[in-house]
Amino acid sequence: MEITIRKAKAMDVPQMLALVKELALFEKEPEAVTVTEAEMLDAGFGEKPIWFGWVALEAEGRILGIALCYDRYSTWKGRCLYLEDIVVTSTARSQGIGERLFRQCVEHGATNGYHWMRWQVLDWNTDAIRFYERFGAAVSTGWLNGELTEEQLHIVAAQ
């Protein structure tokens, strides 16, 4: 099967969102995806895009995988490339697509002045952990994630 990796385009958003939903189902949180196609389109291709990424396409144009990134900044380290999601549809796994997408992100970071690259992986996803460790990546256990929901943002802001 011939696979092409290219920068994501606005027309890819519906298929990209479908893969995000497939990932959420795999991670046992299908109801957690609340972003709409319009929001994802605007955030990636609107007036002030905040994410960028790549898609893995088969010859017929079906997207089999995605890598979605954005810029972060660390007061300790400087500019950081954050890999939000790398997803390969379940029927196309074990064909090297994930590795090609990951390498595309790494190449982007290496050639565009990033000081590091970061992502998250669930502690029970041993296949993903092994995947990242193959590249020499460190998977830490020392940091906990904090978050406020949209509703909480409004409550705290009003106080």
The strand pairing partners of 68, in sequence order, are: 53, 85
Tell me if 82 sits within 8 A of 69, measured CB to CB: yes
Which residue in the list 70, 73, 82, 132 is annotated as catalytic?
A: 132
pLDDT at 123: 87
pLDDT at 11: 98
pLDDT at 102: 96
132 is catalytic: yes
Strands 78-88 and 116-118: parallel
Give the pTM: 0.91
pLDDT at 145: 77
Q: pLDDT, tens digit, for every residue of 128-152?
A: 989 999 999 988 877 767 888 888 9
Q: pLDDT, tens digit, for every residue of 14-25?
A: 999 999 999 999
The domain limits of the chain are 3-158
Give the distance from CA 80 to its chain's centroid.
Answer: 14
Q: Which residues of the chain have pLDDT under 50?
A: none
Helices (H), the chain: 13-26, 37-45, 97-111, 126-133, 150-158
Domain 3-158 bears CATH identifier 3.40.630.30: yes
pLDDT at 149: 82
Helices (H), 27-149: 37-45, 97-111, 126-133
pLDDT at 16: 98
